[in-house]
Structure 1
């Protein structure tokens, strides 16, 4: 079974498991295992682990499930040495063959003290993964790619791309760069709220962090937005473009746009605006019939 088939069409993106495994103000309990098992039972093909996870974060989810793909979305290359990652990947592959996908990214200058020459750093990191005693195959890794050069690297030195905070229009351009074969698995933000203003408020609260990171703002400007769209938490035009806000039908329609633009798989991130509810199981249940079965 190839990577595209294993992932299926729809997965979820969440930082909840990473925060719990790393003890970031949350305790990992059996509820996290149960949530992973339910995600699998609902028919989602993958969990994309947000929050800059290491390989070890995938282990409990893999143990709690039988067929779910678990992907890092993304592992920060400045945090983990390539040789260590390759060794960890090989160990996971022996225990859970074919079920772990290594997503890699260069993060952002404001978040990494030694950030420099990110494209070259990624090229070197991939070379180190190739040179490891147990190499990570190119087809089993994807890159957090936004601009043309990183998308080309995703095509040439990895199995594809996992763009974050993008639109269907960006997906179409990414597909044109990648060509027909490589995996294109964009993250898609959704807010299940039929009150548009309330939904936009939740979206803006979530968006604040990303509008302070130049890799994202540069890509949004490259995608046709203007500086005014990035001010004040994001214009309605920006929010409506990078979030699907509404009921199940609105979210299903946005998912269809991404798939029609050339995405193979969508990593759907449900934004609730409620930090006390890190695992939005109710929303995942509501969306499964329209996204997976629809």
Structure 2
């Protein structure tokens, strides 16, 4: 499965007007992006319309929550997509967060392993899946039970650690947050507005603390140090320099999540970033 060097990560493509989203996916393909990662805890079925509107673009779930979809149903739907669009659907799986799942959220790593066992038994091939992995155990599962890892809310240093954990073969496709704004105050304000929710989720904060940040970095929407490490902000050239840090650290593919204040797919920003392809 060829997902190229750059894709986009977008909740907007998961929700809203289907025709608008199909048109946006077709333009992504025309611009040369390799993949569209659907945010908003999508199911397999949510990839269907975008696949139908394109001919080469890979569509991935970024990330399907294992608490929301039965693995046997996922395997059946995935097989149907693979038959209709060979080599163009990538199943991204994640254990989500206790604050979002509620009482069902117990022993997330064990639950993921059980989910993968059931997927395997239902005939879903490991080479067509990636795992949302941050810590060592889930990165090891990404290496041993999937095609690789799709870490979210990370830094180039995490990308380096992830590559070391995965080894040379598996796919490493981090999500990278992008703010196309060169003014530091405006860029960081936009980043903080987006990041504040994530800083309430222990899976993310624990990973950031493991990377060397302090509790003070997590307050008030994030310190400048945290914002500058997690976000690629500035003009296209500055964003390109940050993406190069991830590639130098071992990333194979980067899923760019462009942060805007709207709820439409950020097509204009995708066009602006296309020279980085």
Q: Would the TM-score normalized by the shorter structure come out above 0.5?
A: yes
Residues matched between the structures, number: 276
**Residue 95 of structure 2 contacts residue 112 of structure 2 at CA under 8 Å; is this kept in 1?**
yes
Look up the match of 1:275. Answer: 262
Q: Is 2:62 the counterpart of 1:73? A: yes
Residue 74 (structure 2) aligns with: 85
Equivalent residue, structure 2, for 1:284: 270
Q: Which of 106, 114, 136 pairs up with 1:116?
A: 106
Q: Where do 5+ consecutive residues of structure 1 fail to align? A: 21-27
1:37 aligns with 2:35: no
Q: How far 1:275 sits from its partner (Å)?
A: 2.4
Show the counterpart of 2:246.
Answer: 258
Partner of 1:17: 13
Deviation at 1:17, TM superposition (A): 1.8
* Contact kept? 1:185, 1:265, Cα under 8 Å: yes
- TM (normalized to structure 2)? 0.98
Cα separation, 1, equivalents of 2:248 and 2:53: 33
Partners of 1:16 and 1:279 within 8 A in 2:
yes
Distance 1:73 1:29 in 2: 18
C-alpha root-mean-square deviation of aligned residues, in Å? 0.7
| Residue of structure 1 in register with 2:191 after alignment | 203
Counterpart secondary structure, 1:166: coil
Q: SS at the partner of 1:51?
A: coil
Task: Provide the TM-score with structure 1 as the length reference.
Answer: 0.93
Matched, 1:63 2:52: yes
Please say if residues 192 and 245 of structure 1, whose CA atoms lie closer than 8 Å, have aligned partners that are also in contact. Answer: yes
How far is 1:215 from its partner?
0.2
Provide Cα deviations, 1:223-244, integer angstroms capped at 9, x if missing partner: 1100000001100000010001
Q: Could you list the runs of 4 or more consecutive aligned residues of structure 1 that deviate by over 6 angstroms after TM superposition?
A: none
1:223 is matched with 211
Equivalent position to 2:4, from 8, 13, 19: 8
For 1:267, what is the secondary structure of its paired residue?
Answer: strand
Deviations 1:150-204 (A, max 9, x none): 0000000000000000001000000000000000000000100111100100000
Question: Displacement, 1:29?
Answer: 4.0
Distance in 1 between residues matched to 2:244 and 2:18, nearest whole Å: 35
Instruction: Tell me how far apart the structure 2 counterparts of residues 35 and 145 of structure 1 sit (CA, whole Å).
Output: 28
Quote the Cα distance in structure 1 between the aligned partners of 2:25 and 2:18: 12
Unaligned runs of 5+ residues in structure 2 are: none
Q: Distance in 2 between matches of 1:85 and 1:30?
A: 25
Number of the residue aligned with 1:24? none
Classify the secondary structure of the residue corresponding to 1:264: coil
